[in-house]
Amino acid sequence: MSTRITAVDVHDVRFPTAAAGDGSDALNRGDYSATYVELRSDARDGTVGAGLAFTNGRGNELVCAAVRALEHHVVGQRLEDIFADMVPFWRSLVADVQLRWLGPEKGVIHLATGALVNAVWDLRAKLCRVPLWKLLAGMSAAELVAMIDFRHIDDALDPQEARALLERAAPGAEERERELEATGYPAYTTSVGWLGYPDEKVRALVRAAAAAGWRDVKMKVGGPAGADILGHARIARAVAPVRVATGEVAANRVIFKQLMQAQAIGVCQVDACRVGGVNEVLAILLLAARYGVPVCPHAGGVGLCEYVQHLAVFDYLRVSASLEGRMIEYVDHLHEHFVDPVEVTGGRYRVPRSPACPRSAAGTPPPPSPEASFISASAPSTGRTRRSSPRTRSPRRAGTGASPGWPRARASSWTGSPPRTCCSASPACRPGPPPPGWWAC
């Protein structure tokens, strides 16, 4: 039975991170934000696709407006038609004749494209009743290659080479899946090292993370602009044999292609929603495999930890077939603001196994206690999350009662768990726990 996308809902969600320096680096010190997109459909069970673009403070307004400017390319489309001929659909978003001048394929238009494209994939995964990584891992090499726009990158990777890479990595995928199920995926934490933190706080957080089992931590530093390929190459030559990890602000597959061609990147930190969604991430994962560059996706921002675990697991199962040099970034006290926490223990991600939630249902689980809605900016990261025993949040930030304007978030095939918002959909962030019934499934 066909499924048609009937409407796009856009939520402007903000988080009060700047005051305590959470999430800060050499250049970015704003409040973490998310443009949260829901695709409604005519599916009999009311299935809704969810996607997001991570942004920073007032910039979220622009991305929300860009989603609304692009939504006419999505509303009315049959999901089966989109996936039968994905590249023209993707190009309709990145090359809208009246909006392309604002990019092309970068900036707010591309962020909006990523949110919409990821929501389309989420909708398909939910209808298939599988998490996103499982949907991707179950596709054939030919199907995966058909999802990718090779325009501007076929001088480095053409469809035949991409298919050969996927077919070469296919043997052993089931065994690797069992391995991840048993041991998890390696992770490192960034919670210890925001540049806005005083040195003593960084030391205390590193000690706490080490005590909790973390062996790898990250301190964010600045670098050249995302499109300064020659600047990155100059740094890479200067610090060799130390590898340069970059890519979180690289706008598209072409930038990644050039970084790799120029030997300017030693670790690929692709961002799941700065580029144009799953389709473009697939191209970048294959480019990295072509050039032998390990992929450690950029996370950190609210919702990104949930995004990237699916892409990293797929990369291991179907593209790289190796964990050498690969880890997933985890940010304990930031990603909890947005979604039900992923489970990390002793520096290993639990592989998402929960099937996608197909619809809003009665008899939903009770919402968490008020102290579970926020985490203190001064609380040390433990390096792991426990669903049944949330850490106490700062009384200054915890609230009582419902906050008006909260979007009713739905479970995503990216997470297997309902998104947890901690801010209203209005421009002004309203601290406090979500209202009763925020669990939509």
Annotated catalytic residue 134? no
- Amino acid 376 reads S
The CB density around residue 353, as the number of other CB atoms within 10 Å, is 12
Annotated catalytic residue 298? yes
Hey, which residues does 9 pair with through a beta bridge? 38
Residues for the chain: how many in total? 441
Burial 181-208 (b: 16+ CB within 10 A, else e): eeebbbbbbbbbbbbbbeeebbeebbeb
Catalytic hit among 134, 232, 298, 337: 298
The CB density around residue 292, as the number of other CB atoms within 10 Å, is 9
Cβ neighbourhood burial of 384 (10 Å; 0-12, 13-18, 19+): buried
| Helices within 327-418 (DSSP H only) | 332-335
Q: Which of 52, 351, 328, 345 is nearest to 182 (CA)?
A: 351
| 254: three-class secondary structure by DSSP | helix
| CA gap 361, 127 in Å, rounded | 15
Pairing state between β 344-345 and 185-189: unpaired
| CA gap 267, 254 in Å, rounded | 16
| CA gap 152, 154 in Å, rounded | 6
Catalytic hit among 11, 110, 220, 333: 220
Count CA atoms closer than 13 A to 90's CA, side-chain side. 24
CA distances from 395 to 311, 335, 373 (A): 36, 19, 11
DSSP 4-28: BEEEEEEEEEE---GGGTTT--SS-
CA 192 centroid distance within chain: 20
Q: Which residues contact 268 (CB under 8 A, 6 or more apart)?
A: 247, 256, 260, 284, 288, 293, 294, 295, 296
CA 18 centroid distance within chain: 21
Q: Which of 314, 268, 290, 278 is nearest to 176 (CA)?
A: 314
Category of 57 on φ-ψ map: left (φ > 0), alpha (ψ -120 to 50) or beta: left
| CA gap 151, 253 in Å, rounded | 10
List residues with catalytic annotation.
Answer: 220, 298
